[in-house]
A = this chain, B = another copy of it.
Amino acid sequence: MPQRTKKAGAAKIRSVAFRRIRADHSSELAEDYVELIADLIDEKGEARGSDVAMRLGVANATVVKTLKRLQDAGLVSQEPYRSIFLTGEGWKMAEDGRRKHKIVEAFLLALGVSEETARIDSEGIEHHVSDETLRAMARFLARKVM
């Protein structure tokens, strides 16, 4: 029954996409945190938990708990009651996120959406674009500029 086999194969392939989305979700939060922390350090010289909480629109206690996980994951370091630092790996992830973010946001603008929408949508989309799509977006931008 080639029919059956084909269907099972397609299902398996499809499930890959969903698996990736679930994986993306767990790293998504980490990326948002490190990106935000990097921004805060660049902007104000230091990142405090309460700033992170405010910008993410989340309670202080939530940030504390999440930072603990990120610390275990080797992305940030922090002493109690002190401000937050990024590890080398944390910086790497932050830079990567910013790069993606910039491309996606610029791309949306080039596509003709409002600044407001570009900002909001890019925040959500950024974590779900593969490198290939990112390259396609960059190509589009390059063409557009010429």
A139 at the B interface (CB under 8 A): yes
Instruction: Establish whether residues A140 and B111, one from each chain, have CB atoms under 8 Å apart when the complex forms.
Output: yes
Interface residues of A, count at CB 8 A: 42
Instruction: Establish whether residues B119 and A136, one from each chain, have CB atoms under 8 Å apart when the complex forms.
Output: no
The CA of A119 and the CA of B19, in the complex, are separated in Å by 13
The 4 lowest CB-CB distance pairs between A and B, nearest first, are A124-B128, A15-B57, A17-B123, A17-B120
Could you list which residues of chain A lie within 8 angstroms of chain B, going by C-beta atoms? 8, 11-12, 14-21, 24-25, 32, 51, 54-58, 108, 111-114, 117, 119-121, 123-125, 127-130, 132-133, 136-137, 139-140
Could you tell me the distance in whole angstroms from the C-beta of A30 to the nearest C-beta in chain B?
14
